[in-house]
Amino acid sequence: MIFFLGLLPGIIGFYFIEGHSAVESMLNALSMLSGQAIEPAPITRGGRFFIAIYGLFLQSVFIISIGLIVTPFIHRILHKWHLEE
């Protein structure tokens, strides 16, 4: 769900800013999430700016989602390490 919410701005941005079709917009957003280069490369200055900002946004969504998944396990490990004094 978190990844879909992260993809939605990319799909909308590619559709409206670069004028791609809905399928190409989804493919480009998924490609950016996986770290692959997008095809075709953005033509407009706004498209290039959007890709830079969207790339930073995707990285933050990825880091936050990994943190949400890993936090309960780390919390349990820290409780096991706690020593009574």
Q: Any residues with CB less than 8 A from the CB of 71 and at least 6 apart, and which? A: none
pLDDT digits (tens, 9 = 90+) for 59-77: 898 899 899 999 999 988 8
pLDDT digits (tens, 9 = 90+) for 23-58: 998 888 888 887 777 777 777 888 889 888 998 998
**pTM for this predicted structure:** 0.72
pLDDT of the residue at 53: 93
CATH number at residue 37: 1.10.287.70
Work out how many domains the chain is built from and give that number: 1
Tokens representing residue 64 in the block:
């936050």
Q: Which domain holds residue 43?
A: 2-81
pLDDT of the residue at 41: 77
DSSP H stretches of helix in the chain: 2-16, 22-34, 45-81
pLDDT of the residue at 83: 59
C-alpha pair distances (Å), 71 with each of 50, 60, 75, 82: 31, 16, 6, 17
